[in-house]
Copies of this chain bind each other. A is one copy, B any other.
Amino acid sequence: MARGKSKSHFALLGILAEREASGYELRQFIAQSIGHFWQESFGQIYPALKNMEKKGWINSVAADLGMKTRRRHRITPKGRKVLATWLAERPTPEVIRNELLLKIFFAAHAGSGIITGHLKAQRLQALEMQKVFQEIASQMRAPEAVSAAYWRFTLDYGQRAVEAELQWLEDTLAKMPKVQSKKQV
């Protein structure tokens, strides 16, 4: 499981390049900071950490805080080299699967009003996302670390993507009734 081609390794390595962390903290950090374009589950994180230690990309030590065992993971110089090499490679094209679009494509075979319902639900979710982005953006004001500029780029991407999606949703919702009335003629 996760033996070399998995990008999970590099996601973890990238975070460890700025701070040492436990598996649990890595999970949290990912969910909070890059969750809108990258996800990792425990089922991958823990095996990946073991694997990377074996390869010498990280050092892992069990630090006993109080009575809790908590493994702290630290990147090694070798790990930094591996990370830099990966960062230099061209991103491989993503496989995109958009279930909502698929359902719209087949909408002629769905009951009337169904797809409109999906679009409305998606609009609510998108508005929710927009709010979350705005909150993050407002907290990210002051001139921080070097990385902050890059973080802002990824946030900006998210904001624009949601913005574009919302506009498409509104426009498509406005066009839907016409299509359906046409169908009924």
Which residues of A are interface residues toward B (Cβ below 8 A)?
A: 7, 10-11, 14, 17-18, 33-34, 36-39, 80, 83-84, 87-88, 90-111, 114-115, 118, 121-122, 125, 145-147, 149-151, 153-154, 156-157, 160-161, 163-165, 167-168, 171-172, 175, 179, 182-183
> With the chains together, A146 CA to B14 CA distance in Å?
49
Q: Is the CB of A83 within 8 A of B109?
A: yes
Question: By the criterion CB–CB under 8 Å, are A37 and B96 in contact?
Answer: yes
In whole angstroms, what is the CA distance A33 to B102 when docked?
Answer: 11
Chain B residues lying within 8 Å of A179, measured Cβ to Cβ, are 146, 149-150
B92, A34: Cβ atoms under 8 Å? no
Interface of A is mostly: helix
Q: Is the CB of B100 within 8 A of A87?
A: no
Q: A102-B7, A153-B172, A175-B153 are in contact. Are A97 and B37 (CB under 8 A)?
A: yes
Q: Measured between alpha carbons, how far is A149 from B98 in the docked complex, in Å?
A: 18
Q: Which residues of B contact A90 (CB under 8 A)?
A: 118, 121
- Cα distance, A46 to B91, chains bound together (Å): 30
Say how far A93's CB is from chain B's closest CB, in angstroms. Answer: 8
Judge whether B114 and A87 touch: CB under 8 Å: yes
Q: In the assembled complex, which residues on chain B have CB atoms less than 8 Å from the CB atom of A99?
A: 7, 91-92, 94
Determine the chain B residues whose CB is within 8 A of the CB of A97 once the complex forms: 7, 37-39, 94
CB distance from A31 to the nearest CB of B (A): 13
